[in-house]
Each structure stands twice: as structure tokens, then as C-alpha cells.
Amino acid sequence: MKEYDINKVKNIAFAGHNGSGKTSLVEALLYKAGVTDRLGKTADGTTICDYDPEEIKRKISIGTSLASFECNDYKINILDTPGLFDFAAEMIEGIRAADTVMITVSAKSGVKVGARKAYDEAVKQGKSKMFVVTKIDDKDANFFNVLTELKTVFGPTVCPVVVPVVSNGQIVEYVNLIEMKCYKYDAKGNPIETDMPTSEISEKFEYRVDGLVAAVSEAVAETSDELMEKFFEGEAFTQKELIDGIHDGMNRGVITPVVCTSAADLAGIDMLLKEIGLLLPAPSEVYPAEAYNPAKEVVEVKCDKDAPLAAYVFKTIADPFVGKMSMIRVMSGKLASNTDVINSTTGATEKIGKLFTLCGKKQQDVNCAYAGDIVVASKIGANTGDTLTDPSRIIEFAPMEFPRPCYSMAVKAKSQGDEAKISTSIQRLIEEDPTLTYVQDDSTKEQILSGLGEQHIEVAAAKLKSKFGVDIELTVPKIAYKETIRKKVKVEGKHKKQSGGHGQYGHVWIEFEPCVSDTLVFEEKVFGGAVPKNYFPAVQKGLEDSVKKGVLAGCPVVGLKAILVDGSYHPVDSSEMAFKTAAAIAYKEGLRQADPVMLEPIGELKVTAPDDNTGDIMGELNKRRGRVLGMEPVSHGVTMIQAEVPMREMHDFAMYLRQTTRGMGSFTFDFMRYEQLPANLLTEVITSMGADE
């Protein structure tokens, strides 16, 4: 690809609710721009952006894919992000690399949670926004209802630009409110200019056009004092003033244009390509990115191809054939192949080898990429979130903020000997997806894979099998129960065994009492040498080995203090092993007499949810034996609930919350302490622990 003027590059992330038509819209744009000679379909698994075997099988987007192409003298980089909440990290990565977020909203189902989340993320990251109302050809579509809903939900910045003309329930034409021209579309999606609609064509449409034009003019007037003055004087804006005003308003976040399209019959796709060139800000026009120098001072990084290199790795793809692929947004300077750069995040030197652009999975080699562009490097050491710089200017961009994993499953290899392969393969997946974690639970010794939901974990397991040939089994993780005692006892432990030659003799009296400690507290108060000092360590070792298993369900014992108070020994038959065994005998007997109880882990829960759902959530927490500690508002219409809940009740809470809040809720859950397990659950837990053995 040739070198592009910095003002001729457009970086766009497509985001929105699952099923709102993002991938189909990208496919239509690629087809209309002449990149592909056939219009792929998600249902058939033939789209350019959904090329992963799991995406084809499930008919959904799972990862953010890049489609770079040329159109109307522009270099357009489209990042098609998933709409499912399980893959929220992909949307965050795509928006980070873009300058504009196109949020798809179905004309049939209206504004869904995915659109709100995409909008909020775009605002959080300071990106310009545009709404694309999709599926306008559907028989149940209603553009003007959706437009009203957009204004209600997102406020007065919403500004219509392309609207449909409806006659007898059918869309007959499309009006471009900037050009003030009307178009019909033939069967191949080619535009035919036609007369502006009159009330005969569409009832009351003249009035509606006037109102829509007024809405556009009012939005444009807000962008400058000169335009506001002209607006108040009742003068109509020129086409250039409208384009420049919307362009400027988008860049400043005060205008969010709305267009409508049909990916199925290509209506409005040509106008959307035109608006991409006219309205969307170029990388050189957006606010300079902020980075930090080694002294942690804020540095502004302007999009300038002559400045020292500064680039950000926003996504990693683990490909078993190509190796690690890193998607990079060049923020300033020039990134060239076969050069050395500094990874300022790690301090290491990175050798940049092959560079290429992607259109789905199709690669095209490039020698370099300039400020404002997106490029892919293969087989470099950098990870998602790393900054690559020129040695002359070491800076680091702030990392992305990802949601914390909230759903966990235990992982086992289906085939023996695959354990080592599982670990290395999952590490490759974690490089690709920062919202996955893989750790060993110190208490249960299980390997735990955590993500954002059931489907997230299932897809990770499927990728392990298809990409790395590792088959795993997923099970509900065990709860790390513990045991303790509630009263003080004094018990005897005697080990006496006579056999040929030396016998074995160990005899101890030990007091056991509750204490506050996660490990065994051992003391000795032996008088008169009843037990020689050289056997004290053996007694302690015998007890330390024993506390690994309690007497109720074989769980580790905590909060136990053991005091060796008396005993006896044999000058010939006593040995360290004999006293170790005697201590173990005393331990078993002592715990049985000391009123043993089971302890369960309790976690601190912080749930953020819409006010409408707080009552349902608190009721659910009561069912899960939770204690609600308080509530506090966090933003308009959103409340945070704080509670303490037993960990055994929380495994499927992520799914419950998502269903109840339709994806608007989120939570964090962290271990706090252990509390006594209620007596009515004791038998069930002991039985389940026995079954696990």
C-alpha cells in the first residue's frame, strides 16, 4: 500500500449490541468499496471479518478483526468488535485503536444494552461517535421510533443525517439531510437521485423534513459562534458549513450523527462511505494522546509522522501457524520493518520483522506505517498494552482498563500427560485475551480458569482444542473449606509396638485449644524431663502433618493451638518416629472431643446495577445467604450494593446478574475471611467432599 496523507486515514471501531448487524455492515462496506466481489453473510459463515472457526460455527463475532482497505483516496481501517458481553475486552481494544466509534442499532429492536455500553466506552476513551441504524429493510423496522429513542437515551447531541422515506409501510427513498438530496436504490444497491419527497409520497413528510433539517442546523449552530449567529438570523447553512460543523462537532463530542442503512440490499451503504470521508475526524484532528515519560510526567503525543516513533500494541492474536501477531496503532513517527525499537513498558529492545495490514485474515505486506495508521507485526515479544518507542524519546501510554474475570471453572486434562501443554497453551490465550486468568488454588490444588462468563470459558476451551490440540474438561471449582475447634481439651496419645529387636514407644499428653492463627501454634510445657527435648520437634512435626486433614471432611485445620504438657519415654524403644505417631494419635482424639466445626470462605461483594434492579438483587443475595451491608449511588440511575456472601453460593452469580440487568450490571467479589458453616449444610458438604475424593 502507498503512503497516505495523515488526513486521509480513518480509523473506525464498529461496536454495538450482539446481533445489531456490525459484521454484516462491514461486509457491505467492503463489497461496496470493491474490496470483495461477493457479499458474505454471517449466517453462512462467509464474511471476511468472522473468519475464526469458532465464529463461523457459533455465527457470532468472538474477536476484534481488522479490515484495512482503500476507498475514495482514503485509507480506512475498520475494527469489527464483538457485541457479546463475554468478549468485552475485544470492544475496549478496538475502541482504543480507533478515532471514531460507529455504534450499530437495529431498526427492529432499538437501543439495547450493548449500544449503551459501546457509547459509554467511547465517551470514557474520548472518541467521536456515530449511530448507524441497521436492518432498515426489515418489515418490523421503524427508523423514526429508534431516532426518538436515541435522543431520549443519549441526549440532544444526536443528529439525523440520512433518513428513510416511508410510504405504505415500505421504505421507498433515502434523504441525505446534508446534501438535501433524495435517492432510490436499485436491486444491486446503486443510488438513483430522485426528487425530494412530498406529502403525497409520504404522509406529512414535508413537515418532517423541515423538522429534521432544523434539528441538524441547530446541532451545527452549537459548534461555533459564527454559525450560531447565522442560525439566529434565520439563514440556511451551506452544504460546506453543515459538513464542517458536523465534522467539528463529532471531533469535540457535541454531535453524534445518525445514518440508516440496509446491509442486505446495500441501501445507504454508498452514503455511509461518503460520510466516512466527510464527517469522521482524521488522526491528526483528534486530541493529542497522553503518555508518561520516565519521570511519570504527562506528555502530549501529537499525530506527527516526523516526530519520534510512539506506537501502542492494542491487541494480540495467538496464531498457531503464523505465531504471535500484534496489532499496533502508530501514534507518532514511523514504524518500519527490520528495525529495532524500545518496548518502554518492559525496557526490552524489540526487533520489528515483518509488517503487514489485514483485511480479515488476508495479509498484505507493507514496509512501514506512519502516524495515525494501524499495522500488524508478527513474532515480536510485546504484549497487549505495551508501548513501542524510538530510543530518543522513551514514553509510555496508559494501559487499557479491562473488566475483572467473574466466572471460574476448574480445568483438568482429558488425556494424561497434557497438563504441561494446557498451561503453555492457556498462557498463549491469555496473551490474546487479558480478561482470562489461569491460576492454581493453593487450598484445593485445582487449576482455575476465569473469564467474563460461561460462553467466554467455553470458547477458550474450544480454542485450546482447535488451535493447540489440547482437550480439557471443565468442572465447577471446589470450595476451600477449613475446619477448626471450639473448646479446650486435654488428650493422651500413646504409640507402643513390640516386635523383634527394638520396639516403638512414644507417649504424650497434649492440650488443644482454639486460637487466632492460620497455622498450627505449638508450645511445650513439660516438667521434669517426662519427654526429652530432642523429641519436641518430632511431636511438632507429627501435629503439623496432621493439621493438613481435619476429622470432619479432611479439610485443613486452622485456629489450633497445641501444648505438649506431659508424656513418657523408653530409653531404648523411643524414637522420633514413635513420638510423631503418638502426636498424630493425640491429634485425632483431641479434635473429636474439642467440638470440631467446618468453616466456609466468605467474600466481599460489590454489585453495580441500575436502580430498577436493586430490589431483585438484594432478594437474590438473601437467598444466597448474603448479608447486605449498604447501598450507595454511583451515577445517575445506578447504585452499588455492598454485601458479604459465602463463596459456595456465588458460582453462577455472573449469569444471574447479566440476565436480571440485561447486561448492565457488574460486580467484584474478593475473599474476606472464614466463618462457621451453618449446621444444616454440614452433612451436605461432608458428603460432597467425600464424593470429590
Residue pLDDT, tens place only, 455-469: 999 999 999 998 888
Q: Is the pLDDT of residue 204 over 60?
A: no
pLDDT in the model for residue 205: 61
pLDDT digits (tens, 9 = 90+) for 306-353: 999 999 999 999 877 778 899 999 999 999 999 999 999 999 999 999
682-to-318, 596, 600, 658, 686 alpha-carbon distances in Å: 45, 11, 10, 31, 6
pLDDT in the model for residue 460: 94
Residue for grid cell 470483495: 36
Rounded CA-CA distance 645/78 in Å is 43
pLDDT digits (tens, 9 = 90+) for 502-530: 788 999 999 999 999 989 999 999 887 78
Give the pTM. 0.89
CB hemisphere CA count around 331 (13 angstroms): 25
Rounded CA-CA distance 461/217 in Å is 52
The answer to whether 1 and 76 are in contact (CB under 8 A) is: no
Q: What is the mean pLDDT of the chain?
A: 91
Q: Residue 403, Cβ neighbours under 10 Å: how many?
A: 16
For residue 459, with 0-12 CB atoms within 10 Å meaning exposed, 13-18 middle and 19 or more buried, which class applies?
A: buried
The helix (H) or strand (E) run that includes residue 210 is helix 205-221
pLDDT digits (tens, 9 = 90+) for 348-387: 999 999 999 999 989 999 999 999 999 999 999 999 999 9
Rounded CA-CA distance 263/269 in Å is 7
Confidence label for 43 from pLDDT (cuts 50, 70 and 90):
confident
> Average pLDDT for residues 430-443, to the nearest whole number?
91
pLDDT in the model for residue 266: 93
> Average pLDDT for residues 266-274, to the nearest whole number?
94
Fold for domain 600-692? Alpha-Beta Plaits (3.30.70)
CB hemisphere CA count around 632 (13 angstroms): 6
> Average pLDDT for residues 476-486, to the nearest whole number?
93
pLDDT in the model for residue 37: 86
Q: Is the pLDDT of residue 693 over 70?
A: no
Residue for grid cell 494501524: 374
> Average pLDDT for residues 666-672, to the nearest whole number?
93
The answer to whether 585 and 510 are in contact (CB under 8 A) is: no
Q: What is the CA radius of gyration of the chain?
A: 33
Could you give the percent of the chain with pLDDT greater than 90? 72
Rounded CA-CA distance 556/372 in Å is 57
Superfamily in which the 6-279 domain is placed by CATH = P-loop containing nucleotide triphosphate hydrolases (3.40.50.300)
Rounded CA-CA distance 136/139 in Å is 8
658-to-86, 478, 625, 666 alpha-carbon distances in Å: 10, 23, 20, 8
Confidence label for 473 from pLDDT (cuts 50, 70 and 90):
very high
C-alpha cell belonging to residue 688:
460432597
Confidence label for 199 from pLDDT (cuts 50, 70 and 90):
low
Confidence label for 20 from pLDDT (cuts 50, 70 and 90):
very high
pLDDT digits (tens, 9 = 90+) for 647-663: 999 999 999 999 999 99
Q: Where are the domains of the chain?
A: 6-279, 291-397, 407-475, 483-594, 600-692
The answer to whether 94 and 29 are in contact (CB under 8 A) is: no
Q: What angle do CA 6, 9, 11 make, to 5 degrees?
A: 130
Domains 407-475 and 483-594 share a fold: no
pLDDT in the model for residue 467: 87
- Helix and strand numbers (H, E) in the chain are 16, 37
Confidence label for 612 from pLDDT (cuts 50, 70 and 90):
very high
Superfamily in which the 407-475 domain is placed by CATH = Elongation Factor G (Translational Gtpase), domain 3 (3.30.70.870)
Q: Is the pLDDT of residue 49 over 60?
A: yes
Estimate to the nearest angstrom the gap between the alpha carbon of 276 and the chain centroid: 28
pLDDT in the model for residue 116: 94
SS (HEC) of 7-33: HHEEEEEEEECCCCCHHHHHHHHHHHC
Residues 6+ apart with CB under 8 A from 478: 410, 441, 444, 446, 692
pLDDT in the model for residue 691: 52
Confidence label for 500 from pLDDT (cuts 50, 70 and 90):
low
pLDDT in the model for residue 501: 65
> Average pLDDT for residues 183-198, to the nearest whole number?
88
Q: Is the pLDDT of residue 558 over 70?
A: yes
The answer to whether 257 and 249 are in contact (CB under 8 A) is: no
> Average pLDDT for residues 10-16, to the nearest whole number?
96
Pick from 171-175, 400-404, 658-662: least confident: 171-175
pLDDT in the model for residue 291: 95
> Average pLDDT for residues 386-409, to the nearest whole number?
94
- Is CATH 3.40.50.300 the right assignment for the domain spanning 291-397? no
> Average pLDDT for residues 141-160, to the nearest whole number?
92
Pick from 48-52, 106-110, 556-560: least confident: 48-52
User: May I ask the CATH class of domain 483-594?
Assistant: alpha beta
| Cα separation of the two ends of the chain | 61
pLDDT digits (tens, 9 = 90+) for 206-262: 557 778 888 888 889 888 888 898 888 888 889 999 999 999 999 999 999 999 999
pLDDT in the model for residue 94: 97
Q: Is the pLDDT of residue 416 over 70?
A: yes
- Residue 66 phi/psi, 5° resolution? -105, 130
